[in-house]
Amino acid sequence: MPLTINGLSKTYPNGVQALKNLSLTIGNNMFGLLGPNGAGKSTLMRTIATLQEPDTGEIWLDGVNVIKQKETVRQLLGYLPQEFGVYPKISALDMLNHLAVMKGVTKSGERKDMVEALLHQTNLWEVRKKALSTYSGGMKQRFGIAQALLANPKLIIVDEPTAGLDPSERHRFLNLLSAIGRDVIVILSTHIVEDVHELCNRMAIISNGEVLLEGSPTEVLEKL
């Protein structure tokens, strides 16, 4: 199984127990993690993304120990936090080109093809020369996906992506995720039932740091 989470617990210094012996296996392309605010979703996502450590428990991604082999895992995953960073004044085109160089794609022809394909895939071709700082919320989210895809990841983690998007941007973004989900494992963390229902083939409901229900959206949502 691609991603296995075993007995994960996390208590913050203020005494909040965000994860309570949580176990989950994520083997399908589009996995939804649904839960109210404060359920522990971001803590779980950040832990999988190697940005914080649990107190106890293990996570394995394709045979790689996520908690111990951070550098290896970072090359396998893309993470879109809820609000990711400050947006520079440079354009999407320049930023992706720059990131491709950093990644070692030094042949300019190869780089051009790669960056152009990503801009088309994420529907940013029209605005590729505009500064990222002028992008709408939906455009920023799609740019985040383009940036994540550049690394050719096996797993993409998306935290509350549709919060603050208008309906048409939301649909555009969900369609993009579902297209990506054909090739890559996508974990979608959200408190919006419809996002999971429309997109995911498996899901879990998280509440108070624990898995309440797990299964296909049809199975799980009818038990609610």
Task: List interacting residues with ligand ADP (CB under 6 A).
Answer: 12, 14, 16, 18, 35, 37-43, 82
Integer Cα distance of 140 and 174 in angstroms: 14
Q: Is 50 helix (H, G, I), strand (E, B) or coil?
A: coil
Shorter beta-carbon distance to ligand ADP: residue 17 or 121: 17
Distance, CA of 134 to chain centre: 23
| DSSP annotation of 49 | T
Among the listed residues 147, 156, 86, the one whose alpha carbon sits nearest the alpha carbon of residue 121: 147
- Give the H or E element holding residue 221: helix 217-222
- Smallest gap from Cβ 91 to ligand ADP, in A, equals 29
- Smallest gap from Cβ 18 to ligand ADP, in A, equals 4
Shorter beta-carbon distance to ligand ADP: residue 43 or 147: 43
Shorter beta-carbon distance to ligand ADP: residue 14 or 168: 14
- Smallest gap from Cβ 20 to ligand ADP, in A, equals 11
What's the full length of the chain, in residues? 224
Shorter beta-carbon distance to ligand ADP: residue 19 or 132: 19
- Smallest gap from Cβ 145 to ligand ADP, in A, equals 19
- Smallest gap from Cβ 63 to ligand ADP, in A, equals 27
- Cα dihedral value 143, 149, 153, 157, nearest 10: 30
Shorter beta-carbon distance to ligand ADP: residue 39 or 174: 39
Q: How far is CA 37 from CA 17, 177, 191, in A?
A: 14, 22, 7
Q: Is 94 exposed, middle or buried (0-12, 13-18, 19+ CB in 10 A)?
A: middle
